[in-house]
Amino acid sequence: MGKIIHKTKPKKEIKKEDQNMGFKIIFFALNFLLVPFSAYTTFKGYSQFLGIPLAIVLALATGLMFFGLNYAIMTLREEGKPHFKQSVGFLLPLMISFFGNFPHFYGNQMQGSLLNEEVTHYKTTLTNTYNTAINKLERKRLDERQGIESKNELDILKTNLDADLKELKAQIQDGGCKGMCRQKWEEIRSLFMEYNKVHNGTNNAPPHISQIFTKSYNQFENLAMSNFKALLNKQKNEIENIDGQIDLDIKLLNDTDYSNLVKLSDTLLMAQNEERLKIEGGNLLKRIKATNDDLGQKASKLPGYEFTILPAPEEVNTKNIKGVLESAFIKNDNSSATIFSIILSLIIDLAVLGFVFLILSFKKVNQEEEIRGPNIQTLS
């Protein structure tokens, strides 16, 4: 006679020691490689923008949240338990980390090329500021020299003076000075008086003939030419004063850092010096702006002079979130670099979570024991 015995098979529990060892190794390896790297780039991205203390706090906070959420989601998924809230909560550290990661990748890609463009633009502006000032000064020199030379009209005075002296000499040689000497001398004196009245605001002229004790031609000529040479020397001194002032103004422009900055810019813009450009480029831009402002200020009194005021340099690098975001999303300097940086920034934070979702398919586990069919045993 047989006895029917019903047996139940208890649900097999999921134990850590029974889990796939390869999955565990990859999971923890990804966590210990990518999460610290993400925390580091988060720190670098925020350090200049928010300061080092707050950047450290954000980096540590996002790192711990990534570690915890990755492990929690993996555990819940293994146990077949809901993990929607944990997945949504993953967005918080992801958003914080992204704005540190993105400047790191975008800045490393674009820093050299953008610095090259910015240094080229700044150097060109500085050169234009300098050259415009020099050209304005040389134009001023030419205008003032021409103004003096045309204003004094010494060539005309000399022509008329030579003609009158020639007539005076002929009169003296023909019959002595007599009354005609006095008349011609007064005409010569009038030449000087009219010239000085128009151009110098005075009535200066050689002395009257009554003051001349000898009536020889040489004395007339010496007096006339002495007065003419005085006017000529006055004009020469005025021109020398103009040249001296212009040369001084040019020297003030050359005493700036202009020449050194142009040479340094040309050196750093060479292809083989890209790494040096990344190191020295930011400081170079600041120096160019300061010198450009200095040159423009010194030349600002020149008639019609204008110069371009350079903005404060917005260097695009791994430490400058604002500059990076403006370059990538507003100016759209390089769309390929932007897309590539977005992908990399997300991958380092989502790689572990993506691995978990890919390997561990979610299946809700039945909490009740599984009932098997009857097991019939024959007892003797």
- For 237-278, how does the pLDDT look when each residue is reduced to its tens digit (9 = 90+)? 988 898 899 899 999 898 889 999 999 999 999 989 888 888
Q: 18-22, 75-79, 84-88, 139-143: which has the highest mean pLDDT?
A: 139-143
Q: What is the dihedral of CA 217, 220, 224, 225, to 10 degrees?
A: 50
pLDDT band for position 317 (50/70/90)? low
How many CB atoms lie under 10 A from the CB of residue 327?
23
Q: Which residue has the higher pLDDT, 288 or 372?
A: 288
Q: Which residue has the higher pLDDT, 38 or 363?
A: 38
| Cα separation values, 174 from 167, 168, 180, 221, Å | 11, 10, 11, 17
Q: What's the pTM?
A: 0.65
Backbone dihedral region of 201: left (phi > 0), alpha (psi from -120 to 50 degrees) or beta? left
Average pLDDT over residues 66-85: 82
Distance from C-alpha of 198 to C-alpha of 189, rounded to nearest angstrom = 14
Distance from C-alpha of 172 to C-alpha of 92, rounded to nearest angstrom = 113
Tell me what pLDDT residue 372 has.
Answer: 46
Nearest to 199, CA basis, from 163, 223, 232: 232
Query: Which letter does DSSP use for residue 256 in this model?
Result: S
Distance from C-alpha of 199 to C-alpha of 193, rounded to nearest angstrom = 10
Distance from C-alpha of 181 to C-alpha of 171, rounded to nearest angstrom = 7
Tell me what pLDDT residue 380 has.
Answer: 40
Cα of first residue to Cα of last residue in the chain, in angstroms, is: 7
Under 8 Å CB-to-CB from 48, ≥6 apart: which residues?
Answer: 319, 320, 321
Are the C-beta atoms of residues 289 and 125 closer than 8 Å to each other? no
Question: Is the model's pLDDT at 61 over the cut of 60?
Answer: yes
C-alpha of 277 from chain center? 13
Distance from C-alpha of 288 to C-alpha of 220, rounded to nearest angstrom = 64
Under 8 Å CB-to-CB from 358, ≥6 apart: which residues?
Answer: none
Nearest to 182, CA basis, from 208, 154, 221, 151: 208
Candidate from 45-54, 148-157, 158-167, 208-217 with smallest mean pLDDT = 208-217
Question: Is the model's pLDDT at 373 over the cut of 50?
Answer: no
Average pLDDT over residues 4-27: 59
Tell me what pLDDT residue 318 has.
Answer: 61
Residue carrying the six token digits 């260097």: 315
Buried b (16+ CB within 10 A) or exposed e, 215-254: eebeebeebbbebbeebeeebeebeeebeeebeebeeebe
pLDDT tens string 117-147 = 889 999 999 999 999 999 999 999 888 888 7
